[in-house]
Chains A and B, each alone.
Chain A
Amino acid sequence: MLDKIKDFASEFFVTGDPLILGAQVSIALSLVAILFVLTYFKKWKWLWTEWLTSVDHKKIGIMYIIASILMLFRGGVDALLMRVQLAVPEVEFLNAEHYNQIFTTHGVIMILFMAMPLMFGLFNIVVPLQIGARDVAFPFLNSLSFWMFFFGAMLFNVSFIIGGSPDAGWLAYPPLSQLSGSPGLGQDFYIWGIQISGIGSLATGINFVVTILKMRAPGMKLMQMPMFVWSVLSSCITIMFAFPILTVTLFLLFLDRYLGAHFFTLDGGGNPMMYINLIWMWGHPEVYIVILPAFGIFSEIVSAFSKKKLFGYKSMVFALMSISFFSFFTWAHHFFTMGSGANVNAFFALTTMLIAIPTGVKVFNWLFTMYRGRITFPTPMMWTVAFIPCFVVGGMTGVLLSVAPADFQFHNSYFLIAHFHQVLIGGVVFGYFAGLYYWWPKMFGFRLHEGLGKWAFWFWNIGFYVCFMPQYALGLMGMTRRVNEYNFDMGWQPLNVISTVGAFLMGAAFIFQVWQIAHSIKFYKKEKDGDAWDGRTLEWSIPSPAPLYNFARLPQVTHQDDWWEEKQRITAGEPAKPLAPLEPIHMPKNSGIPFIMSVCWFTAGFGFVWDWKWMIIPGLIGVAVCMLIRSFSYDTDYYIPVDEIERTEAALRGTK
């Protein structure tokens, strides 16, 4: 009996690596610690009623952000481990298998479980407030999306200690990702983790498209929406068209692995090239999905801190929408070297270059928003100003990569690695950080310590250039991506050492940020005014943090930058907009179903990974039962009475 358990455990848990053992122990310890704290302070009920079952977009947004910061930590540790391994040639700090796992999980986690949830977190917190809505269009679905993402991410991450991590690269090209190339369970964790969270992402996309189109405050025309809302709209439309491709592609790969189908196999008429095409039909739009909202954030911040209207609003909207459209016609530039012939390569080179035009135009519009403005530099603006040169250079190397015949020399090299990290860190990460710093007072009702934020900023920026500029050079020296070791004679070491130093500077920057948050919580100072930055859009017209119902009265919008115009009118001595009488507010009720249903999905997914029917079947039945219960429950909403609104408003706005 004991032997049996031992055998099972050695197969179930990942064993034999001191690094992983350490991680297992620390994960177990922190789990115990969390359980203890929750029990000791009697917080279980609070956790359940206030957070796990919440359908409030602001709380869901905060949970997204917490999850994404945890994932940033894990993805970052992966990155540092890789950089340590690469700093010294011909040395085995990580063995080949471990290294392959780490670059795979680094990629998946950073894109799907860090960038995406950070983005969704900002969508959730900001969009309803900016359009003057009280929640998203489908609050229940919103909660379900979050928990599907969360348990999908957990399913993926658990492979690190149970069963083994995937190691076929972040896009898992077959035939390597087929049973023949990856017989282990890691690839199954990959498929199910991404599938489950992918359904959540698709639902979020739909949710926000409907929210933006249907829930805008009275009077707000499409062409008066804040630019961030436009960017969310373009990003979510892209999600709606791109994510189904991912789901189908991974499902077909699952059928290949689980049932022995032949969609992407080498034999039986399968075609791995089809997978590569399909995955990039999702994968390329995906990078635009994450960068478009960053463009929106920069637009908001540039305008707010230049104290000036956004320059070229129409041009910006057109640029956003055309990027979103063209992003679907460039996928093959990820494999110019597949030998598709000159016609195909020429076409995709041209479509790729075409995208550079609207992207470049946006930069000019930001610059001319600052032009003839009065620019101040608190942390959100610092990130924005740092973004411009970084993204311009990264965009330029992207254009170089799009020159198909030259790409034959750049492809798969560190030049490519440097390029996409420059646009993803310089664009997406800088953008989301800018957004986090900008909207933090709105989310939590207190400010972050500026001094520590500046330290974090400089460490991030200097670290970034120190880490990635040498990688362009390494690419031109012939260093290919995903190598875990290299020959000393290649002369790659000095630049690799510099790059590693840069990575650790960014690691230090992350610590500064954690410190900054901890420090700001410790010296908590309530934000008195809801308008932390003398903002321009509706979210700044309400208290921080926003009350449950956001707006006691739905705003009547007459202008782009409506709150700014209102403030201008008041300063000029004109009368403020008349206040409508309060009315009871219609709100959605909290629900435990999204959480429970996602747990069921997790169970089913885990069962599929191990092919344990006794787990798959109850899991799927649980999912179906949750759907049934929800379909037949009619008690899903309630009204907040007027006197309660009055009490809340009086408390929030002091004497007013």
Chain B
Amino acid sequence: MSRFIRMLTPVLFLLMALTLSGCGEQFIVLDPKGPIGESQKDLIYISTILCAVIIVPVLILTAFIVWRYRDKPGSKASYKPNWEHSTKLEIIWWGIPIVIILILAVITVKYTYELEPSKPLVSEKEPITIQVTSLDWKWLFKYPEENIATVNYIKIPEDVPVKFQLTSDTAMNSFWIPQLGGQLYAMSGMAMTLYLQADEQGSYYGSGANFNGKDFAQMTFTVDASSEEEYLSWIEEVKGSAPALTMDGFEKLTEPGASDTLLFSSIPEGLFDKIVTQYVNGDGGAHQHHGGEAAEPAAAADDDEDASADAGESDESAESSADGNSHHHGGH
């Protein structure tokens, strides 16, 4: 009997978790507000159901077999100590998982291409671009078209695709806004592309999901999705009231430490590209990398040549858009 209780425990705990948190509103992964998150939620449900098709019968079978064939005096259950093979049975339980996995595989592959993070979203509206930099230990967001920047805060218009370009100044991080969609690594020396969109106005939680050092836990941020008018007036407001981000100011931001929300009315020319290409040999970096070794003079090749070789222009044009994220070193 106790075995059944134990098998029920996980179920009970999930139920408890659901009730405790008030109708699951806090399960933000399962409460998406954008097309990418929506598809991922569907996929989570589909794959869970497919797996449940196998595991629920297995759990029931386990309970049944363990109960029925337990050793007790006068047991009427059959006992066949040398029964060790049945081709028919083996075909069944090699077959069923193969079929389920095949179905799941087809679905997975389809969604893998559909939800490739660098694939632009279908929309009649032009996407806005936000350049994301993981610093130690804060997020710097630059709006290149609007020429403003923020720290640990993003504002976006609803129903407009957002093209996030991700990089890191130092260690690898991962940029995650669960209610809009899945995460993508932010890595130094390259710019990764992640398209997301908010379908509803609201305030969403975002975080750095990959451990990157001491104050990693402080790397959370808020994403406010608002109407387009509100978004535009916010930009005007930032331009009008916030201080400018200078090169010196950026150097200060790169110093290790957490930060509050900050707003900047302008950004230095080409800052994002400088951050991305800072590790390319022969200078051109945004700032002297702390603790990094000095570039060897011998290796200091011609600046432009190096950068373009690293950006892999030729590769890029050959690749389909679905593969857009692979091996994009350097800025472009």
A residues sitting closer than 8 Å to B (CB atoms) are 96-97, 100, 167, 169, 173, 175-176, 179-181, 183, 260, 265-269, 272-273, 306-315, 335, 337-346, 349-350, 353-354, 356-357, 360-361, 363-364, 367-368, 370-377, 385-386, 388-389, 392-393, 396, 399-400, 402-413, 461-462, 465-466, 469-470, 472-473, 475-478, 480-487, 490-491, 494-495, 498
Closest residue of chain B to A348 (Cβ to Cβ) is B112
User: Are B13 and A470 closer than 8 Å at their CB atoms?
Assistant: yes
| Distance of A349 Cα from B110 Cα, bound (Å) | 12
B262 interface residue, CB < 8 Å from A?
A: no
User: Are B69 and A375 closer than 8 Å at their CB atoms?
Assistant: yes
From residue A17, how far is it (CB to closest CB) to chain B in Å? 15
User: Are B211 and A482 closer than 8 Å at their CB atoms?
Assistant: yes
| Distance of A465 Cα from B65 Cα, bound (Å) | 23
User: Are A349 and B174 closer than 8 Å at their CB atoms?
Assistant: no
From residue A493, how far is it (CB to closest CB) to chain B in Å? 10
B247 interface residue, CB < 8 Å from A?
A: no
Question: What residues on A are CB-neighbors of B16 within 8 Å?
Answer: 498
DSSP class of A's interface residues: helix, strand, loop or mixed?
Answer: helix
User: Are B29 and A477 closer than 8 Å at their CB atoms?
Assistant: yes
From residue B225, how far is it (CB to closest CB) to chain A in Å? 16
Question: What residues on B are CB-neighbors of A96 within 8 Å?
Answer: 214-217
| Distance of A487 Cα from B219 Cα, bound (Å) | 12
The answer to whether A480 and B207 touch (CB under 8 A), given A470-B17, A473-B14, is yes
Question: What residues on B are CB-neighbors of A311 within 8 Å?
Answer: 83-85
| Distance of A494 Cα from B20 Cα, bound (Å) | 8
B residues sitting closer than 8 Å to A (CB atoms) are 3, 6-7, 9-10, 13-14, 16-18, 20-21, 26-30, 37, 39-41, 43-44, 47-48, 51-52, 54-55, 58-59, 61-62, 65-66, 69-71, 75, 77-86, 89-90, 93-94, 97-98, 101, 104-105, 107-109, 111-118, 170-172, 174, 176, 178, 181-185, 187-189, 192, 205, 207-217, 220, 279, 281, 289-293, 295-296, 299, 319, 322-326
| Distance of A268 Cα from B80 Cα, bound (Å) | 68
User: Are B82 and A309 closer than 8 Å at their CB atoms?
Assistant: yes
The answer to whether A268 and B323 touch (CB under 8 A), given A309-B81, A408-B182, is no
| Distance of A100 Cα from B213 Cα, bound (Å) | 8
User: Are A307 and B98 closer than 8 Å at their CB atoms?
Assistant: no
List 10 contacting pairs A-B, 8 Å CB cutoff, sorted by A. Answer: A100-B213, A179-B291, A266-B292, A357-B97, A360-B97, A368-B89, A403-B43, A405-B182, A412-B183, A477-B28
| Distance of A525 Cα from B323 Cα, bound (Å) | 67
| Distance of A376 Cα from B75 Cα, bound (Å) | 13
| Distance of A173 Cα from B213 Cα, bound (Å) | 11
| Distance of A167 Cα from B75 Cα, bound (Å) | 57
| Distance of A183 Cα from B236 Cα, bound (Å) | 43
Question: What residues on B are CB-neighbors of A179 within 8 Å?
Answer: 291
From residue A290, how far is it (CB to closest CB) to chain B in Å? 23
From residue B181, how far is it (CB to closest CB) to chain A in Å? 7
The answer to whether A400 and B29 touch (CB under 8 A), given A176-B171, A360-B93, is no
The answer to whether A411 and B171 touch (CB under 8 A), given A342-B113, A346-B108, A478-B29, is no
The answer to whether A406 and B85 touch (CB under 8 A), given A96-B214, A353-B105, is no
Supply 13 further A-B pairs (C-beta < 8 A) apart from A266-B289, A269-B281, A361-B90: A100-B213, A267-B292, A341-B325, A370-B66, A370-B69, A375-B70, A393-B10, A399-B51, A403-B107, A413-B29, A470-B17, A480-B176, A484-B217
